[in-house]
Amino acid sequence: MNNYYITCGKREAQNDFPTHLISGIPSFLKAAILPPVESVLREHQVKAAVLGLPWEHTNTCRPGASMGPRAVRNATDHYLSYHGEFQVDLFNALNLVDCGDVQIMPGNAKVTFERAEECLLNIINAGAVPFVFGGDDSCPIPVTSAVSKTCQKGNIGYIHFDAHLDTAKDVGGELLNHACPVSRTAELPNCRGENVAIVGINGALNPPEEIDYCRENGIHVYSIWDIEERGVDTVIADIIEKVWAPGVEKVVLQTDLDCMDQAFVPGITTPETGGLTPREMLKFVRAFAKKGIAAYVIAECSPVYDPANISARVAVRLAMDAMGTIANPNGSGRISK
């Protein structure tokens, strides 16, 4: 029998280029689907694992982020596993797999995040970097919690790309709200505010108490205007110095897609004007992935507002460039002869 079909993680018809792009089960890049179980991931020597967290029950803005993981996976039809800018095949170099979605408990953030953290601990303890797709921007909370628990002796650093500070102490008494991921992370026993950076702050949705929280806890804030005036390269160097400071063992990278201008990412829950460009974001992501990250979270893709899957494809490129950098940190980062 001829194998004229596409199976996850195994491109049976590599010569049928158009068929490869549009056929098969829509996992991330058609990667093999494995459960987030440490022993299984170790057996397959997985170095990078995708995990969906379709949660948006603390969202206070536009809906649709719970459908983000599925939209991102579908958007990978646009790409090959070979990343030409890094001269590497992500399947071969990272044994990239898709661990599916966390089973959420509707309306119950505590139970949902406990389940997410269990999945993440299995992935991290297997020696893989989790790439988590939300979901609203409360999704970093279980990620930073899991990473902090896997630190042996050192601290956790955190880089939070967002138009909004997300340092609320709570929202209506809810501690796990999408306005609280930075504050929940900064409160972890092995996290210090001086190793936390919030990047891309912009617009009129940043209340004074959240600004005060940053000042009181020594959190570094880089507004869109700081980046405009100082330049991306200078800001990157400054963030690396502060977040990867002595004593920091692991760093979590997060991107709320609203850190970019809504012209580039219209399909998000809290759009903003005047933000970063995708090219600037790619430069940031590559630099931090090269320095070394323990996890990457991308949040707030809302396909119900996303014409032509624009925002989902931006999310995919951010993740793929991080993966490409991890797989080949000495790659040129560009297509060359």
Tokens for 274?
């005047």
Evaluate whether residue 4 is within a structural domain: no
Q: Where are the alpha helices (DSSP H) in 207-336?
A: 208-217, 224-230, 232-243, 278-291, 310-327
CATH number at residue 67: 3.40.800.10
Determine, yes or no, domain membership for 2. no
Q: Is residue 8 part of a domain?
A: no
In a domain, 3, yes or no: no
Residue 1, domain member (yes or no): no
**DSSP 8-state class, residue 67:** G
Say if 10 falls within a structural domain: no
User: 125 lies in a domain?
Assistant: yes
Question: Which strand ranges, in their side-by-side order, compose the sheet holding 129-134?
Answer: 32-33, 97-101, 48-53, 129-134, 295-299, 248-256, 155-161, 191-201, 220-223
Burial class (CB in 10 A: 0-12, 13-18, 19+), 128: buried
What does pTM read for this prediction? Answer: 0.95
SS3 assignment, position 15: coil
Number of domains in the chain: 1
Q: CB 32: neighbour CB atoms within 10 A?
A: 16
Segments forming the whole domain that contains residue 135: 17-327
Place of tokens 């869109």: 224
- Tens of pLDDT along the chain (337 residues) come to 344 444 555 444 455 555 567 777 889 999 999 999 999 999 999 999 999 999 999 888 899 999 999 999 999 988 989 999 999 999 999 999 999 999 999 999 999 999 999 999 999 999 999 999 999 999 999 999 999 999 999 999 999 999 999 999 999 999 999 989 999 999 999 999 999 999 999 999 999 999 999 999 999 999 999 999 999 999 999 999 999 999 999 999 999 999 999 999 999 999 999 999 999 999 999 999 999 999 999 999 999 999 999 999 999 999 999 999 999 998 888 887 6
**334 domain residue, yes or no:** no
Q: Tell me which long-range contacts 20-24 makes (C-beta under 8 A, separation of at least 24).
A: 20/80, 21/77, 21/78, 21/80, 22/77
CA distance 258 to 267: 9
List the one residue out of 73, 84, 297 whose CA is nearest residue 185.
Answer: 297
